Structure 1
């Protein structure tokens, strides 16, 4: 059976899909190749492959890459990776058999894993808000003189931090490596920082 049929769509909303994937795609080399190739697609800005949970999460911009086009390109990528042999089962050394057995004996991930991920994301967001809040508290007169502008500046900082976190993987793995290809994204970043600095000037 083709490996494409083993990718089962479990969740879909605007700009976000999640697949249940086979164990062959969870090998470290195969997972890395699949993630890198998906990030090269226009419109795809975040790819997370959970190897233990055997899940693949893809976030994309539907205005650039429609769902049907994304699926077709995903199937094409799987076919290319299959030709390289990365999906073929790897022989397991006897010294590692006990590790494989220990992993197989573990309980399947449940709601606790989901709560852990959400807790980590929430903790990072709260930490970022504290940092921004401390910076804002250094100038209490600004809040007293113009509370509306102080609140807007604070929300702008939160938005910038959120956007950086959301696109960080894409920035480090794609935009920096190929700056000319993603020149429009870099222009958007520079313009965003220009607006942010300009809003702070009196």
Structure 2
């Protein structure tokens, strides 16, 4: 493990590579991409309220952070990262023995993280596939596939899938865990579902 310089020196080496709506990507010095510093940065930023995805790409020396801009902003993320740099730089590096090096090389934590990511990805696509199957099964207007009603129904489904994809991480990691806090988002969701169901019922009556 490389001994880290002072927090101010580390902060000067951190640059913002990309800044978007609820997403920021930093370029980090190589020393921060080594273990256990990289894992400490990921775990520390995940603990910030509003942050729902953190990935540090070790080889590319890039840190990607997704956050809910209604719960925190870029300044909060930057301050949290700077605080983590101070903690890492102030920690005594030490020289682990043979047993310590063997524990550091243990692939089981990495395999566990990859397994959890794979399970999350699989559950997400199972849900989307089941939802798509239900929507396709409930399409009486597909008899006239080029009719105005069929095109409008298809576009409504397309918008629904897009909204699910864009907000999937927020739904699973924030909205479901704190429904009262995100009640406005849930009210909007229920209203959109109501409009979609009503549109389907009206289309079925006209058949």
So what's the TM-score if we normalise by structure 1?
0.59
- Structure 1 equivalent of residue 24 of structure 2: 17
SS at match of 1:30: helix
Displacement after TM superposition at 1:185 (Å): 1.4
- Structure 2 equivalent of residue 30 of structure 1: 41
- Structure 2 equivalent of residue 167 of structure 1: 167
- Structure 2 equivalent of residue 181 of structure 1: 181
Equivalent pair of 2:23/2:64 in contact (CA under 8 Å): yes
Matches within 5 A, 1:32-51: 32-37=43-48, 40-41=49-50, 47-51=53-57
Equivalent pair of 1:30/1:87 in contact (CA under 8 Å): no
> How many angstroms apart in 1 are the aligned matches of 2:176 and 2:130?
29
> How many angstroms apart in 1 are the aligned matches of 2:143 and 2:13?
60
> How many angstroms apart in 1 are the aligned matches of 2:88 and 2:11?
15
Corresponding position: 1:94 with 2:101: yes
Matches within 5 A, 1:9-158: 9-13=16-20, 16-21=23-28, 22-23=32-33, 27-37=38-48, 40-41=49-50, 47-52=53-58, 53-59=60-66, 70-82=73-85, 88=91, 93-96=100-103, 132=132, 138=137, 141-145=140-144, 147-158=147-158
Displacement after TM superposition at 1:56 (Å): 2.8
> How many angstroms apart in 1 are the aligned matches of 2:185 and 2:141?
33
Displacement after TM superposition at 1:31 (Å): 0.5
> How many angstroms apart in 2 are the aligned matches of 1:179 and 1:137?
30
- Structure 1 equivalent of residue 116 of structure 2: none
SS at match of 1:193: helix
> How many angstroms apart in 2 are the aligned matches of 1:95 and 1:156?
55
Displacement after TM superposition at 1:200 (Å): 1.0
Q: Cα gap change, 1:194/1:72 in structure 2, threshold over 3 Å: closer, same or farther?
A: same
User: Cα deviations across residues 10-53 of structure 1 (Å, max 9, x unaligned)?
Assistant: 1234554321233268633431230341xx24xx7x63413434
Query: Alpha carbon RMSD of aligned pairs, Å?
Result: 4.1
> How many angstroms apart in 2 are the aligned matches of 1:10 and 1:153?
40
**Any gaps of 5 or more consecutive residues in structure 1?**
101-120
Bigger Cα Rg: 2
Displacement after TM superposition at 1:70 (Å): 3.2
